[in-house]
Amino acid sequence: MVGTLAVQVVFWWIPSALFVLLDYLTPSFAAKHKIQPAPKQPSYSEILDAIVVSLRNQAIVLALQLSLAALANLQNQPSPFQITASIPSAKAFVFDFTICLVAREILFYYSHRLFHVPYLYRRIHKIHHKFKAPVSFASQYAHPVEHIVANTIPIVLPPIILRTHILTMWTFVAWQLIETATVHSGYDFFGGAAYRHDRHHERFDVHFGGMPWLDWFHGTDERERLAKKNS
């Protein structure tokens, strides 16, 4: 639990805070690199609300983790991860990490699409889309059900199924946390990594995935749509 919390702090809280602080410490630089214009940017109170909701969601997930760990301990169940003194081999690490990436993308894309069904969107996912111009803290700004189903399970389930080494799991979680903080940052850094998801918050009906391949397959990639329309 301590390791997972440390990963959350280092790879989500700190990067998210740094991205948001750019708005206040270097406003002219921030304005130059923001994907969406200043009038669309969230207010200080909205960002504070995102922080509070994110803390609540993380507390809920932590409570679930502690409850499941306690139950497993009572039943003398082994850890779902390999915990050894040695690190995993490079081959095992690359294989497990790659499978986790693919599995997470599949789980996230389809759960995300599910939450865009009108019934679920109005009751659950609309909360996350309060941020038309997202900031990093908005990446965990969600209804608790969505945070568990779409944000948490797609990340933690693949390493559990594979029973990866604990270091592989922590690395994978760290990658996903820094990725979601980046794509919600609203900045055009890192080769425009945030552009696709920023457009999702602006348009709602495009770019559902973290990676582009399922959007391409299902016709929800905005650029593919425009290319077909203009062809």
Domain residue limits, the chain: 2-6+46-60+88-230
Cα 209 from chain centroid (whole Å): 10
**pLDDT for res 178:** 97
pLDDT at 1 over 80: no
Closest to 202 measured CA to CA, from 17, 30, 41:
41
Q: Pick 224 or 156 by higher pLDDT.
A: 156
| Cβ atoms 177, 12 nearer than 8 A | yes
Interatomic CA distance for residues 68 and 152, integer angstroms: 15
pLDDT at 231 over 70: no
pLDDT at 207 over 70: yes
**pLDDT for res 222:** 86
Interatomic CA distance for residues 88 and 66, integer angstroms: 26
Write out the two tokens for 204.
Answer: 């709602």
| Cβ atoms 135, 185 nearer than 8 A | yes
Beta-carbon contacts of 68 under 8 Å, excluding residues fewer than 6 positions away, are: none
Interatomic CA distance for residues 118 and 94, integer angstroms: 39
Task: Please write the tens of the pLDDT for every residue from 157-183.
Answer: 999 999 999 999 999 999 999 999 999
pLDDT at 93 over 70: yes
Mean pLDDT, the chain, as a whole number?
93
Beta partners for 165? 82
Comparing 51-60, 110-119, 143-152, 210-219, the range with the smallest average pLDDT is 210-219
Task: Please write the tens of the pLDDT for every residue from 97-152.
Answer: 999 999 999 999 999 999 999 999 999 999 999 999 999 999 999 999 999 999 99
Predicted TM-score (pTM) of the model is 0.93
**pLDDT for res 78:** 87
**pLDDT for res 2:** 80
Average pLDDT for 177-190: 94
Average pLDDT for 91-98: 98
Percentage of the chain lying above the pLDDT 90 cut: 76
| Cβ atoms 161, 106 nearer than 8 A | no
What are the CA-CA distances from residue 151 to residues 58, 77, 108 (Å)? 11, 26, 7
What are the CA-CA distances from residue 34 to residues 48, 105, 192, 207 (Å)? 19, 26, 11, 19
Closest to 135 measured CA to CA, from 229, 2, 11, 15:
15
